[in-house]
Structure 1
Amino acid sequence: MKKKGIVAIVGRPNVGKSTLFNRIIKEKKSIVEDVPGVTRDRLYGDAEWLTVPFILIDTGGITLQDTKFAKEIKVQAEIAIKEADLILFVLNYKDGICPEDNAVLRILYKTNKPIILVINKYDKKDDFNSSYEYMSLGLGEPILVSSTHGIGIGDLLDKIIENLPKANEEQSNDEIKIAVVGKPNVGKSSFVNALLGEKRMIVSEIPGTTTDSVDSKIEFDNIKYSIIDTAGLRKKGKIYENIEKYSYIRSISSINKSDVVLLMLDISLPITDHDSNIGGFAYEESKPIIIIANKWDLVEKKDSNSMNKKETEIRSYFKYLSYAKILFISAVENIRVKKIFELISLVNANLKKRIKTSVLNEIFNKAQLINPAPNHNGGRLKIYYSSQVEAYIPTFVLFVNNPGYAHFSYRRYLENQIRQHFDFTGVPMKIIFRERR
């Protein structure tokens, strides 16, 4: 399975990082304001150029000044730099090279990551005569862009695709990569320790004590697994007030390179939007997902119906993950932990499941008879023929009269028809409508 490259935009405040981010992902997702330090959170977005997809990270500006969020921004940027495959170092053309630019560069020099020097806020009417000054930074020929006007963006994207790693795109076929994700302090490290049977990870009640993202190898029933535990800060220190922000990029990176995602919740506490956001990224990346409800031992006043009630609560919060299995465990007491391998095997088998074309067409023909498609965009969808195509997740191509007539609710109805006839537990599904010609 191919993983997307990760590109981090880094620089001091007010060089136009957020505007560049919005220009590349083609939407206004990052807050843009002409005030240094306004982008305090890392933001991520999906981008694509010449059919090559990648993930773009927008970071807050690294500053030497003792501002309210300076330390937090520096930590966030360092995490993004650490996880990135490629770094865009952005300068402001109108300011030239400032002391804060050199401070950022000192951080970047230590990374051994490929770096593209981007000179933003450039106007074609300007006479670019500072080439020697920028070349002295040791980052090669700069790319001149204007994020606001779109100047030079195509050249920059060409350079990004050229520098994204290719050797690591295909992962080994003899092991299953498992990403353990969730907000800090839900018990990810305790869970991995229980699976491994050793205290590989630091476990603490303080959120964010896992200091790195570690790949642990394990073999169970002759199947090899690589388990990635992601958690809090890489930075030593006591920056806990905004700690939930720091787990995003770690989770994104882990999800991106995984085969199966284990979304971990602390079931002894209420589910939060942060839980949902992390699950949402795995969903958007079309990853197989298993929801792990950890800390079952801490749930008070349990009875024979407690688990059903909790499952209903989880389902109501994660409606978009209706296909996901839910496993209740206690990592600390090692209750039902090893059962995860059984569920992963089920998911892996369902990923490889293939439906005969004749059977698939019979399912869709009956579906249309029972519930004809509604009028949408001036017409009614008619399915002529369908087949399953080779893809990592189950993917079905439906040849129709007009793809524009397909309402999202009818797509969901057709997916439910397939799931009613075949067990695709734990795996997402893709339905593609194509016009028959």
Structure 2
Amino acid sequence: MKPTLVLVGRPNVGKSTLFNRLTKSRDALVADFPGLTRDRHYGHGKVGSKDYLVVDTGGFEPVVKEGILHEMARQTLQAVDEADVVLFLVDARQGLAPQDKQIADQLRKTGRKVWLAVNKAEGMRRDVVTAEFFELGLGDPLAISAAHGDGLRELIDLVLADFPPAAEEEDSQHPKIAIIGRPNVGKSTLVNSILGEERVIAFDAPGTTRDSIYIDFEREGKPYTIIDTAGVRRRGKVTEAIEKFSVIKTLQAVEDANVAVLVLDAKLEISDQDASLAGFILESGRALVIAINKWDNLPLEQREMIKREVERKLNFLSFAKLHFISALQGDGVGGLFKSIDKAYSSAMVKLSTPQLIRALQLATEKQAPPRAGMFRPKMRYAHQGGSNPPVVVVHGTSLEHVPDSYWRYLEHSFVKMFQLEGTPLRVQFKRGDNPFAPKEAPIPGRASSKPGARRKPVSAPTPRKPRGAPRGGKKS
């Protein structure tokens, strides 16, 4: 097992910057803004000689008893309970703060091994900058710079010195599930319902989640990764820079996932933003499951209205399975996961070439491609060109004349024949060269391919006289 290193500290001391530096990634949002990180964020440490897990936490406010700051403090304490070692960050530029003393007292009560790191110490004398932090009683403070990487290798080697090297783990392909939707539709509540614990903050206010949180877990002995994303509003309403970064991280999470779960609010109408998100998922080629949340205690008239709205505004997602759930009560979550598994297996399916050729023959026999002038496109054979989404490459002649309607007919035929569910399928055409096409005449005067051959001079052709002209010149 890899040791778990948890980063703790008051807001804006550089925890997310250190997380990105240790994981050699840009997974955590970083800005000069206190309270940016709210949920626990896990990553694999890559600085140092040993393998370990790094956990980024929100700014720790141990004395707050209510509101979003209290929920952030709960998340931090849960991370500390899971930790093998805690790295307590303080700010060298601002010096020792009263809040640092409160956090030190709280960490001392947990019984975990705590190391004290004085961040933002670049360009400063280490003995001077660390002197006042001895007052915290957590041992020798270690001066580092997360932004510049100063002292990080020595810090990690010292912190993990008592842990044996972790055994190598085999890389396994497992589903990545992105939970997508507008703000305050219940995405974080659904994540917590799936995991069976309050893993991410679910607060009754839009915009609670700001970053894309990757969470590894097991369900019925099968590994998964679920991604809780920030809510995406209409572009015209996104004004803050932080929210713009959150939207970018959400769209990146969709492209990184295998299956996307589009969460809609049953108490609201299907908006253009919902359709826009669905269109982006479709363009990304990701498998899709639609979850209509907050279905419990909904009047029958409103339920029928939502079904009609989905059928009318999201008719281009006919391949996706539709589920009516209550994330808060846990109703329908089990059935939702069955569709997720089916969509993942369909997206990653391996189709043999003989099966695809037979399916192509059946489709063209049932409905031949329309003529393009004097010729009809001829489809000879097909093979698989990729997965997630499945790609079928069709070879033949005159395929550039195949209309879009027949293109869609082939896609639907392959989906139906191979019983794919929850994933789009794409057909690509590759035109074969005509062996009977006339070859280009060689260019006169081209040098021989043999080495040392000389280029022969090319004389200008003699102009031919028109028929009926006198042969000789005019006599004088």
* TM-score normalised to structure 1 length: 0.54
The answer to whether 1:414 aligns with 2:413 is no
Instruction: Give the ranges of 4+ consecutive aligned residues of structure 1 lying more than 6 Å apart after TM superposition.
Output: none
- Identify the match of residue 349 of structure 2 among 353, 375, 397: 353
The one of 376, 388, 397 equivalent to 1:401 is 397
Residue 328 of structure 2 corresponds to 332
Deviation at 1:329, TM superposition (A): 0.5
Contact 2:230 2:247 in 1 (8 A): no
Question: Contact 1:265–1:271 at 8 Å: present in 2 too?
Answer: yes
Q: Which residue of 2 aligns with 1:425?
A: 421
Q: Contact between 1:177 and 1:228, CA under 8 Å: does it hold in 2? A: yes
Q: Which residue does 2:215 correspond to in 1?
A: 216
Aligned partner letter, 1:202: I
Give the C-alpha shift of residue 286 in structure 1: 0.8
- Return closer, same or farther for 1:260/1:209 CA change in 2, 3 Å cut-off: same
Query: Which whole-Å CA distance do the structure 1 matches of 2:285 and 2:414 have between them?
Result: 17
The 5 Å alignment of 1:51-200 reads 173-200=172-199
Deviates further, 279-288 or 360-369: 360-369
Instruction: Note if contact 2:285-2:388 (Cα within 8 Å) is conserved in structure 1.
Output: no
Deviation of 1:390 after TM superposition, in Å, equals 4.5
* SS of 1:296 mapped into structure 2: coil
Instruction: Name the structure 2 match of 1:53.
Output: none
Distance 1:312 1:195 in 2: 28
What secondary structure is seen at the aligned counterpart in 2 of 1:354? coil
Tell me the equivalent position of 1:264: 263
- Contact kept in structure 2, 1:381 and 1:406, CA below 8 Å: yes
2-side partners of 1:359 and 1:212: how far apart? Answer: 43
Change in CA separation of 1:241 and 1:426 when aligned onto 2, cut-off 3 Å: closer
Partner secondary structure for residue 254 of structure 1: helix
CA apart distance, 1:405 = 0.9
2: CA distance, partners of 1:376 / 1:296: 51
CA distance in 1, matches of 2:270, 2:199: 27
Q: Does the 8 Å CA contact 1:379/1:405 hold for their aligned counterparts?
A: no
Give distance in 2, aligned partners of 1:311 and 1:376: 41
Which residue among 367, 383, 389 is the counterpart of 1:387?
A: 383
Q: Partner of 1:275 in structure 2?
A: 274
User: SS at the partner of 1:179?
Assistant: strand
Give distance in 1, aligned partners of 2:285 and 2:344.
Answer: 14
Name the aligned partner's letter for residue 184 of structure 1: P
**Alpha carbons 2:175, 2:225 under 8 Å: kept:** yes
User: Which residue of 2 is the match for residue 295 of structure 1?
Assistant: 294
Give CA-to-partner distance per residue, 1:128-148, whole Å, 9 cap, x none: xxxxxxxxxxx9xxxxxxxxx
Aligned residues: 268
Q: Please give the alpha-carbon distance, in whole angstroms, between the structure 2 residues aligned to 1:175 and 1:424.
A: 19
| Cα deviation 1:127-168 (Å, max 9, x = unaligned) | xxxxxxxxxxxx9xxxxxxxxxxxxxxxxxxxxxxxxxxxxx
- Could you tell me which runs of 5 or more consecutive residues in structure 1 were left unpaired when the two chains were aligned: 1-73, 80-109, 111-138, 140-170, 234-239
Q: TM-score, normalised by structure 2?
A: 0.50
Q: What secondary structure does 1:225 align onto?
A: strand
Match of 1:21 in 2: none
Which of 308, 315, 318 pairs up with 1:322?
318
Q: Is the 8 A contact 2:210 2:243 kept in 1?
A: no
In 2, Cα distance between equivalents of 1:205 and 1:298 = 19
Partner amino acid, structure 2, of 1:203: A
CA distance in 2, matches of 1:354, 1:253: 26
Q: Say which SS state the counterpart of residue 380 (structure 1) adopts.
A: coil
1:340 Cα deviation from its structure 2 partner:
2.4
- How far the C-alpha of 1:218 sits from its partner, in A, is 1.6
Distance 1:241 1:228, change over 3 A: closer
Higher mean Cα deviation, 193-202 or 323-332? 193-202
Per the alignment, do residues 172 and 259 of structure 1 end up closer, same or farther by CA in structure 2, a change over 3 Å counting? farther
Which SS does the other structure have where 1:290 is aligned? strand
Unmatched tracts of structure 2, length 5 or more: 1-31, 38-118, 120-147, 149-169, 434-476
Please state how far the C-alpha of 1:283 moved relative to its aligned partner: 1.1
What secondary structure sits across from 1:338 in the alignment?
helix
Instruction: Please give the residue correspondences for 1:12-31 in structure 2 after superposition, counting only pairs within 5 Å.
Output: none
CA contact (8 A) 1:251 1:278 kept: no
Looking at structure 2, the residues matched to 420 and 391 of structure 1 have their Cα atoms a distance apart, in angstroms, of 17
**CA deviation after TM superposition for structure 1 residue 370, in Å:** 2.7
Q: What letter corresponds to residue 187 of structure 1 in structure 2?
A: G
Q: Note the C-alpha offset of 1:379.
A: 5.0
SS of 1:175 mapped into structure 2: coil
> Identity of counterpart residues, as a percentage?
31
Counterpart of 2:285? 286
RMSD: 3.5
Q: Compare CA radii of gyration and give the structure with the larger one.
A: 2
Provide the rounded CA distance (Å) in 2 between the counterparts of 1:298 and 1:377. 60
Residues of 1 paired with 2:323 and 2:357: CA distance? Answer: 34
1:366 correspondence with 2:362: yes
Q: CA 1:416–1:188 in 2, change beyond 3 Å: closer, same or farther?
A: same
Structure-2 change in CA distance of 1:405 and 1:379 (3 Å): farther
Larger RCO: 1 or 2 (CA < 8 Å, sep 6+): 1
* Post-superposition offset of 1:172: 5.1
